[in-house]
């Protein structure tokens, strides 16, 4: 599952996924890793898992020229031993 956001090359913003429906009532996220292509010019920082263990967040800053589209991929592991990932399409646009 991927969704797209628009990001200015100079913006420093937070993005994430709400995994609540996929996790169900009892499972929680224990590990979250974000990856972006090195050529994208995007950098990740301050990634986190919410206190209820259901939502992951990452801050993205920078980015190359307007018009480029990159994927930021979130890989998670859960207390029940599940692993999955979701990708966020980041469209770099001048705003």
pLDDT tens digits, residue range 42-78? 888 899 999 999 999 999 987 676 788 889 999 999 9
Structural tokens at position 14: 């937070």
- The per-residue pLDDT for 37 is 85
- CA atoms lying within 13 Å on the CB side of residue 56: 27
Q: Domains in the chain and their CATH numbers?
A: 7-89 (2.60.40)
Cβ 14 vs Cβ 34: under 8 Å: no
For the chain, the farthest-separated pair of C-alpha atoms sits apart, in whole angstroms, at 43
Q: Does residue 51 sit in helix, strand or coil?
A: coil
């Amino acid at each position: 599952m991927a969704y797209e956001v628009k990001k200015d090359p100079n913006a420093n913003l937070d993005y994430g996924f709400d995994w609540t429906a996929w996790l169900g009532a009892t499972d929680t996220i224990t590990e979250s890793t974000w990856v972006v292509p090195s050529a994208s010019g995007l950098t990740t920082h301050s990634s986190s898992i919410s206190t209820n263990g259901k939502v992951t967040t990452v801050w993205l800053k920078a980015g190359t020229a307007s018009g480029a589209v990159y994927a930021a991929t979130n890989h998670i592991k859960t207390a029940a031993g599940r692993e999955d990932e979701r990708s966020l399409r980041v469209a770099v646009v001048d705003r």
